[in-house]
Structure 1
């Protein structure tokens, strides 16, 4: 009798132990998106835990500028969270190469993403994908619809129309034509060079040719965006050289500027700050009839710390992140961050939907400096920041800026030597 009941007793004990363990499973998420804390706490995590009450989740972000250093320090110390929010391309590839991120290629939810969507978090040969793609951001221009209506202006479609609009706003004098500064430098490259540039270098065609060494940064299609940026300075208002990114945001949202060179990531923040109607237009094409290209940049993914004590719980969470349910919650909680999954998602915010609609009209690409080309010294991404700001300020010519970037890339990148 005792012999027969012992396995049942052990089984009951095992079930209780397993149940208790499952209830105690807790996942810590590392992220740089500290602005999103309330969204994770109030919307995303409750939706997940409604289906998986045995897995507790905590979102613990760091300041964006400090994230890489903080995360690397935690990983080296063995104190990092179970889930790692992934920046695209080289920063996360380095984490994978150093054994900090797990290959998720076999994760069931990965079937919801195309190779292009996964490219920001895959090895160079595409054999491993180590982060679930969460969202991309689209570049373009946000504008004050009230100002445009007041001045009788329409959205420009070509570069000539773009400058005609800027001239009209400047001549009227009631608004600063465009709100952007050069103090922080990155805006000049991100919302300047890599915003307008794809229309000149033809998106993925030019970007891949640069990686292959078949084009150079001194070719006309790579200098041309600098030539346009060199004209921007006269439309950015007095003192733009010392103007910071938050300064520019404030100038636009307070209604002092008519146009804001932008990324769709601004949508949710701007919605809460403006008292006028906003519109958006894609980067104007060089000439009427040209194919339009947009920077539809893979921006954020999420992966698993290879050292996690809760791998199964982490995979359960990541599979859910790959689902249409998460995509819908995320897209509407953070309008302007667009899902990369193949499932259909309805975006309710009209300004975010305007950005998203350009995918149907234009060819998509990613920022030219993000994949492979910024791995060496000098760093092409950082040098493009500096060069773009210098060209706008007029302290460097487009030709000299392009030559400096080409010389720097050729110092370490064999295909460009």
Structure 2
């Protein structure tokens, strides 16, 4: 009898321990505080319904503070189990410092192409440390009502683009294009790296720049600054002091006809604008030219190496790599396009229009994000200033290219 009671007691303890081992609470660090309701109302309930033993808490920080807050938490050992990953070098540094786990052995990573994974891999591709979630695509969003009033078709070439802006300016009802230079990054992100791929031929040029086979003084890297210099005439009075939120408001209030954009604007614009919107690709220089788009790998999610919930976190990451997550995320947050290899049927018409460019154009990513901004001066930040200077006419395009090239050559061996 004693032996039987002891055996039953041990079995009971084992069952309790097993049940306890399956219960876990996962905390997610992120900069996407705009997405809090999406996670709380759609993503997390869908996961928890399938995995009742795992609770998930989404704990975002303010975007501008995320990197500093995350690094402080990681150093203090208080960061969440799951880390939302920015693309390329910022996350690579976290991996190299031992804060992110190698996820190469996660079977679900097979759901992504090499291009999708490249934003969260070591340079040699031997380790993948974040599950890809979504990319954003650059182009131009426009007010269809304004275009219809003025009899303007969406432009496909640069000549048509500037002709459209001229017509809008001449009419005077609308500011032709809503973008300011106060915050700087827009000039580079929605300016230089929006139109630039059509000049340097996307990945061909970007990879050649990384290898040192092309320079920032080459015509294909200088020419976009000359084009940006033409934008100043169409940005409206006081664009120099205009902030990013100012530009968003000018467009959604119907005061501007064109908005140099990233697809991440779609959700906000849908709720704020009371007119029909359309989108057009970065115009090519000549009719019939191959078009290139910045289809930028933007957001992933990784596993904190210090997490005490490794198994539960891997279960969650495998689910994030699933078609179910891709469908929820892609439709709940239109303009953030899932990176999984399984096609997602998008519902939002503007998102569908923009993602359709992938079938028409060659995709690339922002030219400064991989490898080229690891040193000082930081090429990404330098490109902000150069793009603003180009628009304001403060420097010639050739001088800006030379400054950037000189800065890169101070620390990057392939350019020395």
Superposition TM-score, scaled by structure 2 size: 0.99
The answer to which of 389-398 and 294-303 deviates more is 389-398
The answer to whether 1:15 aligns with 2:15 is yes
Task: Return the alpha-carbon distance in structure 2 between the equivalents of residues 4 and 93 of structure 1.
Answer: 55
Alignment correspondent of 1:397: 396
The answer to whether 1:408 aligns with 2:407 is yes
Map Cα deviations across residues 67-111 of structure 1 (whole Å, 9 max, x no partner).
000000000000000000000000000000000000001101100
Task: Give the 5 Å matches for 1:230-379.
Answer: 230-379=229-378
Map Cα deviations across residues 134-177 of structure 1 (whole Å, 9 max, x no partner).
00000000000000000000010101110000101011111000
Task: Give the 5 Å matches for 1:73-222.
Answer: 73-222=72-221
Task: Return the alpha-carbon distance in structure 2 between the equivalents of residues 392 and 378 of structure 1.
Answer: 21
Task: Return the alpha-carbon distance in structure 2 between the equivalents of residues 228 and 37 of structure 1.
Answer: 38
Task: Return the alpha-carbon distance in structure 2 between the equivalents of residues 114 and 275 of structure 1.
Answer: 38
1:394 Cα deviation from its structure 2 partner = 1.0
Q: Secondary structure at the match of 1:81?
A: coil
Q: Secondary structure at the match of 1:272?
A: helix
1:5 Cα deviation from its structure 2 partner = 4.1
Q: Secondary structure at the match of 1:141?
A: strand
Task: Return the alpha-carbon distance in structure 1 between the equivalents of residues 115 and 415 of structure 2.
Answer: 24
Task: Return the alpha-carbon distance in structure 2 between the equivalents of residues 399 and 252 of structure 1.
Answer: 32
1:6 Cα deviation from its structure 2 partner = 2.3
Task: Return the alpha-carbon distance in structure 2 between the equivalents of residues 33 and 53 of structure 1.
Answer: 25
Q: Secondary structure at the match of 2:259?
A: strand
Alignment correspondent of 1:6: 6
Task: Return the alpha-carbon distance in structure 2 between the equivalents of residues 5 and 322 of structure 1.
Answer: 46
Q: Secondary structure at the match of 1:230?
A: helix
1:125 Cα deviation from its structure 2 partner = 0.1
Task: Return the alpha-carbon distance in structure 2 between the equivalents of residues 413 and 90 of structure 1.
Answer: 15
Task: Return the alpha-carbon distance in structure 2 between the equivalents of residues 86 and 279 of structure 1.
Answer: 30
Task: Give the 5 Å matches for 1:55-70.
Answer: 55-70=54-69
Which ranges of structure 1 fall in alignment gaps of 5 or more residues?
none
Q: Secondary structure at the match of 2:66?
A: helix
Task: Return the alpha-carbon distance in structure 1 between the equivalents of residues 325 and 409 of structure 2.
Answer: 43
Map Cα deviations across residues 374-394 of structure 1 (whole Å, 9 max, x no partner).
000000000000000111011
Q: Secondary structure at the match of 2:102?
A: coil
Map Cα deviations across residues 212-245 of structure 1 (whole Å, 9 max, x no partner).
0000000000011111001000000000000000
Task: Return the alpha-carbon distance in structure 2 between the equivalents of residues 402 and 7 of structure 1.
Answer: 78
**Residue-pair matches, total:** 416
Map Cα deviations across residues 307-330 of structure 1 (whole Å, 9 max, x no partner).
000000000000000000000000
Map Cα deviations across residues 46-87 of structure 1 (whole Å, 9 max, x no partner).
000000011000000000000000000000000000000000
Give the aligned CA root-mean-square deviation in angstroms: 0.7
Map Cα deviations across residues 171-193 of structure 1 (whole Å, 9 max, x no partner).
11110000000000000000000
Which ranges of structure 2 fall in alignment gaps of 5 or more residues?
none
Alignment correspondent of 2:379: 380
Q: Secondary structure at the match of 2:28?
A: strand
The answer to which of 286-295 and 393-402 deviates more is 393-402
Task: Return the alpha-carbon distance in structure 2 between the equivalents of residues 179 and 203 of structure 1.
Answer: 25
1:409 Cα deviation from its structure 2 partner = 0.3
Task: Return the alpha-carbon distance in structure 2 between the equivalents of residues 281 and 141 of structure 1.
Answer: 5
Task: Return the alpha-carbon distance in structure 2 between the equivalents of residues 399 and 121 of structure 1.
Answer: 34
Q: Secondary structure at the match of 2:338?
A: coil
